[in-house]
Every structure is written in C-alpha cells, then in structure tokens.
Amino acid sequence: MTKYIQNQKKLIVIVFNSAISSGCDYALQTIQIVSGQHTVIGFCLGELVTWKNLWKRKVIHTHNGVIIIRPFFIIPGQRISNIRNVNIFLNAAVIRLFLHLIYKAKEKILWFFEPFNMPSILRVFSSYETVYDCVDYFSGFSGYARLSEEAIIQKVDHVFANSNILASLLKKKRKDITVVPLGFNEDLFRKYERYVATQNKKPVVGYIGGISNRLDFYLLSDLALALPEVIFWLVGPIEKDVYGTKDNLMRIFNTLLRFPNMKWTDAIPKKDVPKTISAFDIAMIPYDVSQDFNRYSYPMKLFEYFYMGKPVISTPIEELKRFPKFVNIGNTAQEWENYIRTILSKFWPKEYQKEQRKLAVVNSWEKKNEKIINIINSIDVKKK
C-alpha cells in the first residue's frame, strides 16, 4: 500500500451517490485505500432507508471494516426534490453532530464525487476541508447536475478532475483544477495476468459495463448486420432510466439481441472481469457521443482493457484521442467495420501490450488517492 505523507490521522467523510451493491469503483476503492491511513466514514446517498424498508436495511453498517451511513428519510416522499433535500440536510446535520461528539481529529475532510445534493451538505460541513473529486462531466448529465455543480464549485477547497478534457471544462467555472489519475483496480487484475483465454471459434468484439442508453445501439445494430462472422459480446447489468427519466431501453435492447451474433451476459462478479476481458479479441467502447456526458467522459474500463493488452475501438470520446496507438476512433459503422477487419487480420504487438499495461498501472487507485492526499497535506487550510 502506498504511504501517504501525513502527520496524524484525519477524519474523512466520503459522500457518494451510487449504491454499494452497484460496485461503484470510484467510491469503494477510495474508501478502501484512504481508510488504510485515516479514519473514514462513508455517507451512501444511493441507498436510502425509508419507513417501508427500515426492517431490512440498516442506517449504520460496515463495509470492509468501514462505517457506512445511509440516510434515513424521516419525511416520506423521497421522489419530491424539496422533501429529498430536507431529508438529506437533516441526516447530514445528525451525522455532523455525531462525528463532533465521537471523533476528536484536528483535521476533518469532506470528500465527494458528484455535485448531487451537495449544496445543503456543504452548508452542514462548512468547518471541514472540502474535496470535490470530480469523476465525470456532470454538466452534460442533466440540468439539475449542472446547477448543483455551479452552486458548489467555488465554495470547495480543492477540485480534482480525472482527465485533461474534464479539467479544461471545469476551468471555465474555476481556474485551480488539478488533474489526477483515472483510477484502476490493479490488485484485482494482477491476479489474472497469466490467464490464457480459450480460443473462440469466431472472433469476439466485447464490451464490459452497464447496458443503458449511454450505448449507441444504432451503431451496434449496423455492426452486427455488417459482420455476421464476428460475435459482439456485451457484458453488464441492465441500467434503465439512467438519466432520471423513463426510457425505452428494453425495447431497443431486445431488438438488438435478435441478431444471432449479438451476445449478452448479465452482471458478473468483479473477480471474473479480467477473465472475461481476456476472451475478447477486440475491446470496444460504443458510447453515444451525441450526448455530451459521453463525449467528455473517461471510461474507467479503458485501463481494464489496456491491462489485458486488448486493442480498443471507440466512438469519438475526446479523452481517448490521447491514445491513437491503442485506441481506434470510429465515427461511423463503416469506420468501425474497417478497424475490426484490419485488427483481426494482424497480430497485436507484444510491445503494445506492455505499453498498455504500464499506462494502466500509473492510473491505479493508489496513485490517484496518493496525489489527492498529498496535495491536501501540502496546503495549509485552516477552518474554524
């Protein structure tokens, strides 16, 4: 484990919007790594406790030895934004009081990844040093996310971005943005580095991640039709209504699966991710870049693909243009078809695979969190 520069343990409250059950790497990996050096409390906004589920879901529980607190919605009606905000504020106030009474650390930090619900939480934790560890282009996600980010970005002490393109966009709102590594679970993948994949009868172009309206289904349909000799394998859970509104995901996805060479596997255990990627001949990121949220994203799966030494084909995601040697950017189904045929006709060089693995390793979660903690330690921010 990387040793951070430190004088004493800090109390760090980590707020995240995903459910623990979703396996949200950026939150759980940060909690795991930072808790090795500091006292960490997780505040999981993605798993609400209501009067209806109080009997089966605990407000306070532990995850890998770290205390995780779920918000208890005292006032029913979590789907109404004003009621949700009041409930979040009340929960944050109770947590703040609890921590004040129990923990006596001189340095206290509030660390969060998304702007959702943060304006009210920041008011409660105003005496804490604050870290916005921005993991995506939220202004392109929804109007609510954009307004939330604008409300908090000038108020926090530190803002970090996990890509150059994201940093350039955030600098339109605030100048002092620090770029940090993306985050990659090196420990998980290191266990499988000698795994030898079984030979497939047909070449496999694979994707691993959530199945949602972030994907370009028209592109995938055109490819399945144009390349019947290739298996297109999608691996991941169905994620409906990902943008907060009802969508037609299932109808579109079921239509896609009618192609005999389109294969889908539901969510798999994390331990099986390296083995699954090793079965790909080519890895793909077929995001719909007509959505700015996708165009300016930095998919964490990239370095999973890289560590396993796979050539990658992607739609025009801005940050991925930094890797022309390893990522082929295709604007159209015809360009994708040409790239697939070219890659399959050649042997992917061993020297490329070695370079890809090095890039993955320098983007590990340890490297990312080491940089954030060291920057926090190097700046003397005194709060009353």
pLDDT tens, position by position, 261-284: 999 999 999 999 999 999 999 999
161 and 66 within one domain: yes
Measured distance between the N- and C-terminal CA atoms of the chain, rounded to whole angstroms: 33
Total-model pTM = 0.91
285 and 231 within one domain: yes
291 and 147 within one domain: no
Compare 220 and 380 and report the one with higher pLDDT: 220
103 and 216 within one domain: no
204 and 287 within one domain: yes
Residue 379 has what pLDDT?
60
**The dihedral formed by the CA atoms of 35, 39, 45 and 46, expressed in degrees to the nearest 10:** 20
Q: What is the mean pLDDT of residues 229-257?
A: 88
113 and 45 within one domain: yes
Please check the confidence at residue 190 and state whether its pLDDT lies above 50.
yes
Please check the confidence at residue 374 and state whether its pLDDT lies above 70.
yes
In a domain, 2, yes or no: no
Query: pLDDT band at residue 16, thresholds of 50, 70 and 90?
Result: very high
In a domain, 383, yes or no: no
Residue 275 has what pLDDT?
93
291 and 164 within one domain: no
Q: Which amino acid is at 313?
A: I
Number of domains in the chain: 2
Residue 207, sorted as left (phi over 0), alpha (psi -120 to 50) or beta, turns out to be beta
In a domain, 161, yes or no: yes
348 and 272 within one domain: yes
228 and 145 within one domain: no
Structural domain of 82: 11-183+364-378
Residue 37 has what pLDDT?
86
Residue 384 has what pLDDT?
45
Residue 380 has what pLDDT?
54
325 and 346 within one domain: yes
284 and 307 within one domain: yes
d(CA 114, CA 117): 9
Chain mean pLDDT for the chain: 91
